[in-house]
Amino acid sequence: MKRKINCETARNFPVEKALEKLGHFPNRTTEQEAWFLSPFRSETQASLKVSRTKNRWYDHGEGIGGNVIDLVCRILRCTIKEALSFLDDDNANGSIKRQPLGNTLESQIQIIEVKELEHLALLQYLSLRSIPIIVAKTYCKEVWYNYRDKTFFAVGLKNHKSGWELRNRLFKNSSSPKSYTIIQNKNKQLILLEGMFDLLSLAMLDTKLLNTSDILVLNSLAFIKDAEKYFETYDLVNLYLDRDTTGQKATKYLIDKHNHVLDKSNRYENHKDLNDLLSHEKGR
């Protein structure tokens, strides 16, 4: 009978190998350490360090770290018992027995209905964000979904893999598979946006620009490299990313790498993003 793994033996499992089996691969490595993009947020510069000598990890962005059990629990949002089950190696080749990632938020969300926006609470939420219903209906739907045996509804933006970005006044969720949203109309320029409300806000601020451009909404800065594959098909790429540290780092990365990419965030200087600018102009 195979002996069950315990915390003491599980701690010896390589942190780097656990990350790779969870779908996270190092951006750079040395003999003593490996650096990963943090699995806890979107970023373009690796901030999670794994010590190969100590078999420990540390996330410089959040100032937290620990052993492999801590990491698995945090990524999968699971209990220690579930983490031990994930790390339990019962394969002859010594690889991890990977469990379905059923503890992640995205995989627990089940879409049950998609329809035109009409719920009063969502219309009020859109109004608070300075978005008229006619604009929201152009790009979004009303999405009802189940999560942990409860039913919720949200404004939904569909991504190119048929997953949904979900927003209401209380929650910011997404359904699996998570990906970017692209709207292609065979235009010569591309607009790169960070999120759903950037798209809706730009539709309010510059309808003509949207009508003469293709649009790519990242839905997460983690999809920047996926977005880059489209750049070569356009004469011009305009960036409207957030004016926070992460957004500006992503902007610099893209401008330094591509000659036909322009930073348009000066349009909302002194504001975090397009929706912040729109709300300011509407007096909200």
Query: How confident is the prediction along the chain (284 residues), in pLDDT tens digits per residue?
Result: 345 667 878 888 899 888 876 767 788 888 899 998 888 876 678 889 999 999 999 998 888 899 999 998 888 877 888 888 878 753 323 333 333 333 445 557 899 999 999 999 999 999 999 999 999 999 999 999 988 788 889 999 999 999 999 998 877 888 888 899 999 999 999 999 999 999 999 999 999 999 999 999 999 888 888 999 999 999 999 999 998 888 888 899 999 999 999 999 999 998 999 999 999 888 76
- 85 is written with which tokens? 């089950």
182: closest CA among 244, 232, 226, 135? 226
pLDDT at res. 91: 30
* Distance from C-alpha of 104 to C-alpha of 64, rounded to nearest angstrom: 20
Looking at residue 14, its amino acid is P
Look at residue 61 in the predicted model and tell me its pLDDT: 81
0.75 surpassed by pTM? no
Residues shown for the chain: 284
Cα–Cα distance, 62 to 73 (Å, whole number): 16
pLDDT score of 99: 37
Provide φ and ψ at 4, rounded to 5°. -70, 145
Nearest Cα to Cα of residue 148 among 119, 176, 178, 107: 107
| 57: amino acid identity, one letter | W
The span from the CA of 224 to the CA of 19, in Å, is 20
Phi (first) and psi of residue 103, to 5 degrees: -90, -5
Distance between CA atoms of 108 and 150, rounded to whole angstroms?
Answer: 11
Residue with tokens 């601020």: 205
Is residue 210 within 8 A of residue 203, CB to CB? The reply is yes
Three-class secondary structure of residue 223 per DSSP: helix
C-alpha 72/C-alpha 10 separation (Å) is 11
Q: How far is CA 134 from the centre of its chain?
A: 27
Radius of gyration of the chain from its Cα atoms, rounded to whole angstroms: 21
- Angle made by CA atoms 79, 85, 87, in degrees to the nearest 5: 105
Longest C-alpha distance within the chain, in Å?
69
CA distances to 16, 40, 157, 182 from 105, rounded to whole Å, are: 23, 13, 17, 23
The predicted structure's pLDDT at residue 94:
31
Choose among 186, 187, 194, 171: nearest CA to 265: 194
Whether 26 and 51 have beta carbons less than 8 Å apart is answered as no
**Residue 109 has what pLDDT?**
85
41: closest CA among 244, 246, 251, 239?
Answer: 246
> Using alpha carbons only, what angle is made at residue 200 by residues 195 and 206, rounded to the nearest 5 degrees?
115
Look up residue 194 and give its DSSP letter.
Answer: S
